[in-house]
A and B are shown apart, each in its own frame.
Chain A
């Protein structure tokens, strides 16, 4: 069974930084893409970033380009999202998701990021 556990969320001031982590079990991140998707309070789903298994391709939502960085550590079977220059509109639950190509498959429980002064 695939299990994803996100951590690292919390309250941060505008302009601040956070690093989200996602520990994956039951699925080797060396075999396919991994993604981050967010959901603002009471809103729909918004894809944020994804990374290919060999890191040869990485994509970002336009509004986070230059501010967010997705990375992975295959030895820890973990994926990360480094977020800088955070804005109020980045407030959301951030989900880590396994992917078959660009198809989102298994979701974690999410971690809440709140950007507020």
Chain B
């Protein structure tokens, strides 16, 4: 099984400041056949189901503000919120869709 490790577990950031979340996989998520990283990011606000933010490590889903950005390839990935807003308070999860079983990082709780 591919193990996904997120860091930190939680972070408190002032409004308008930058938040950075890291996600590391136990094996490469980069496919040599299509040069795509099989890594997605989800956001879960309190009391809500998760919502897909980014697919294929870098494809922004419709409606995701551009203050959210992602980077990384292979085994190391980063989600950055450039200027934290109150609406961004949530738990963020990475998940690998390279192989079964689908696995998630433990989540990173972002607070003000």
Contact = CB atoms under 8 A, between A and B. Distances in A.
Q: Which 4 A-B pairs have the closest CB atoms?
A: A102-B97, A103-B97, A47-B102, A107-B49
How many chain B residues sit at the interface, stated as a range, is 20 to 34
Contact of B102 (A44, A104, A105, A106): A104
A25 to B, nearest CB: 16
B104 A46 contact: yes
Interface string B85-112: 0000001010101111111111100000
A93 to B, nearest CB: 8
Nearest to B39: A103
B24 interface: no
Contacts of A105: 52, 55
A35 to B, nearest CB: 7
B50 interface: yes
- Tell me whether chain A's interface is mostly helix, strand or loop, or mixed: strand
Contact of A102 (B49, B99, B104, B106): B99
Interface residues of A, number: 23
Contacts of A62: 101
Given A45-B50, A100-B55, A104-B50, 9 more contacts: A45-B42, A45-B95, A95-B50, A99-B97, A101-B97, A104-B42, A105-B55, A108-B49, A110-B49
Given A102-B97, A103-B38, A44 B51 contact: no
Contacts of B49: 95, 107-110
A21 interface: no
5 contacts: A44-B104, A95-B50, A104-B102, A105-B55, A109-B49
Interface in B52-109: 52, 55-56, 91, 93, 95, 97-107
Contacts of B56: 103
Interface in A14-68: 35, 37, 44-47, 50, 59, 61-62
B23 interface: no
B93 A45 contact: yes
Nearest to B107: A44
Nearest to B50: A107
